[in-house]
Chains A and B, each alone.
Chain A
Amino acid sequence: MAEFSSATTSRSWYHYLLLTACVLFGAVSVGFVGSIIQKSLPTWLHHSTTLIGGGGWQSPSGPFGGLAMIVGTLETSLIALVIAVVIGLGTAISIVFFIPRRLRNIVATFVELLAAVPSIVYGLWGFLVLAPFMYSTIDPWLNSWPFAREIWGDPSQQYGPSLFLAAIVLGVMILPTFVAISREVISVVPDDLIEASLSLGATRWQVIRKVVLPTARIGLFGATFLALARATGETVAVALIAGGVAKVQWHMLNPGTSIASWIATEFGEAQGNEVSALMALGVLLMLLSFSLSLVSRWLVSRQRKLLARV
């Protein structure tokens, strides 16, 4: 490409136009990170230990403790990721290998459309349909399990919305995203490889397990991280169905909250110190999202190098 780096070597008005756009974009991204950090500085300077502590969230005067939101974010997004990856991988494999060729494109298009459905719709469905159903039918059944109090929590605190429900809805929400990407990376595995191992007498599952999945693994990593990023940053769906209680919650059927949804629900009435504390939560969310993207970039480049060596 170097010899064609046309726009950048010729000093024309076109070159300056492109450069101006780039500088603008750079400024926006610096402003994006900078202004949120700047607004959160009072909290970081004076109350940083409170913010990452479990002291609860007392608006409007404080203290503003963020541990409940951090834990809630991790719990909901990790459970959602496990649901989405286990079910999604099987689904993607079935779409590519077991569905008749004619239906395949239709199903693939459909999955991609579902991946574009706005998260508020999933939240609405979870809030108006699933939450009442959980409360009337699923919760009593889960509570009849042995050790139910230790796993699911005190039934008197349960009223439908819960961290567990939020995790399930998040899982359903990121499922189409994960399936759409992993279907694509699985379907570009070369046919030669598959036919070669079939001809050596491998069974269908052996081909998938030993040939298809290892070949597609870079793309599958990418899909996993994208799904995780979507789950950790999800705001309004979780705000509707997690219950919105700022308490560190290990019992999954009790209401809890997440960083993003807490910012959304509390920001409207927040003043002064609380705005700054919410901005500080935003900085935590930003750190989480940026480190996820860093780790995924590192993993992908490492895998590329390993593949190149082979």
Chain B
Amino acid sequence: MNDLTELDEPIEIAQTMRDEIRRVSNATRARRLMVSRVMTTLCAVTLAVTAVPLALLLYQLIKRGAPELTWTFFTKVPETPSLIAPNATGGLSNAILGSIALNVYASILAIPIGVLVGVYLAESMNKFAATLRVIAQTMAGAPSILMGLFAFSFLLQDLHIGFSAIAGSFALAVLMLPVIIIATEIAVLNVPNTLREAGLALGAKPHKVSMRVVIPSALTGIVTGCILAISRAIGETAPVLLVIGGGYLNTWKPLSPVSALPLSIYENAKSEWPSQRAQVWGAALLLVIFVFILSLTARIWASRKQKVSN
């Protein structure tokens, strides 16, 4: 390189370097192209490897689940099959009602607190907020069975509440809290500062700006986060497994034992009756439909917001 820079003609340097690059490039082109082709083909192969099991899963879910979703499935409580009536499985109305009740109570517990904490985190820069942020991020990754253990040790052992819907909702609420907090914080941080400045310049008190300007502008993001939290909670088995008791009755009372869709899938998958094992596919399909509807709603909300802000 040194003797190159000592040349008088800069054009000549460029010429030499370009020739050198061309030479190396041409000499290695065949090899580089082959490596590139092999690797891109491998990438395409992994795409197929990903698609096959997931497509199979969805196909079997629909093929086996759809015939199970009958009127009885939605309206009757479960029965235990017997040798005389091996196909008498009844329905899963108790689990559907239980799942809805669990998630409604959990949302009532988690959404107000989660949103308020999220707003606080977005609008403060002190140590307390930083600590809470780390806690929320850590809890968002905590295994869901731990929420079940917490609900069991706190509500059942310490407060003697007993197996109940509210204990399951408590566990689900602990699961949803960090998701809602993080989503709310991001939504509030995304509100443009000009909006805040405009509010403050008009003489509004800071908390009025936060309540009347910032939160309404962040609302779509907050709602999206809440829907995603619910869609995660509705499919969770582990937190409710230890504490809701699992009853055969159609009930939504907070203090009585209830069943839930994921729980009845878990229990009945191990059943010795083929009819009950078949029915489980219906429950799984229904659960997946619930989750898909919730996630799609959240997506549509989020994209609508983008259109509005553009």
Q: Is the beta-carbon distance between B236 and A118 smaller than 8 angstroms?
A: yes
A17 beta carbon closer than 8 Å to chain B: yes
Could you tell me the distance between the alpha carbons of A290 and B143 in the complex, rounded to whole angstroms? Answer: 10
User: Contact check: which of A18, A91, A109, A121 meets B46 at CB < 8 Å?
Assistant: A91
B157 beta carbon closer than 8 Å to chain A: yes
Q: Is the beta-carbon distance between B153 and A35 smaller than 8 angstroms?
A: yes
A135 beta carbon closer than 8 Å to chain B: no
A122 in contact with B43 given A117-B291, A206-B36, A236-B241 (CB within 8 Å): no
A6 beta carbon closer than 8 Å to chain B: yes
Q: Is the beta-carbon distance between A233 and B144 smaller than 8 angstroms?
A: yes
Interface size class of A (residues with CB under 8 A): 35 or more
Which residues in window 23-55 of A have CB below 8 A to B?
Answer: 24-26, 28-29, 31-32, 35-36, 38-39
A129 beta carbon closer than 8 Å to chain B: yes
Q: Is the beta-carbon distance between A5 and B141 smaller than 8 angstroms?
A: no
Query: Contact mask A269-310 → B, CB, 8 Å, 1/0?
Result: 000000000110010011001101110010000000000000
A293 in contact with B57 given A8-B126, A14-B207, A124-B280 (CB within 8 Å): no
B contact residues, total (Cβ < 8 Å): 93
Query: Contact mask A97-138 → B, CB, 8 Å, 1/0?
Result: 011000000000100111011111111110111000000000
Using CB atoms and an 8 Å cutoff, list the residues of chain B in contact with chain A.
21, 25, 32-33, 35-36, 39-40, 42-47, 49-50, 53-54, 57, 60-61, 112-114, 116-117, 119-120, 123-126, 128-129, 132, 134-139, 141-147, 149-150, 152-154, 157-158, 174, 177, 181, 193, 196, 200, 205-207, 209-211, 231-232, 234-238, 241-242, 262, 265-266, 269-270, 277, 280-281, 284, 287-288, 291-292, 294-296, 299
Known interface pairs A128-B280, A172-B57, A201-B21; 13 further A-B residue pairs with C-beta atoms within 8 A, sorted by A's residue number: A19-B120, A20-B116, A31-B154, A32-B174, A90-B45, A109-B299, A114-B54, A118-B234, A119-B235, A121-B61, A121-B284, A279-B149, A290-B138
Using CB atoms and an 8 Å cutoff, list the residues of chain A in contact with chain B.
1-2, 4-10, 12, 14-15, 17-22, 24-26, 28-29, 31-32, 35-36, 38-39, 86-91, 93-95, 98-99, 109, 112-114, 116-125, 127-129, 172, 175-176, 179, 201-206, 208-209, 226, 229, 232-236, 239-240, 260, 263-264, 267-268, 278-279, 282, 285-286, 289-290, 292-294, 297
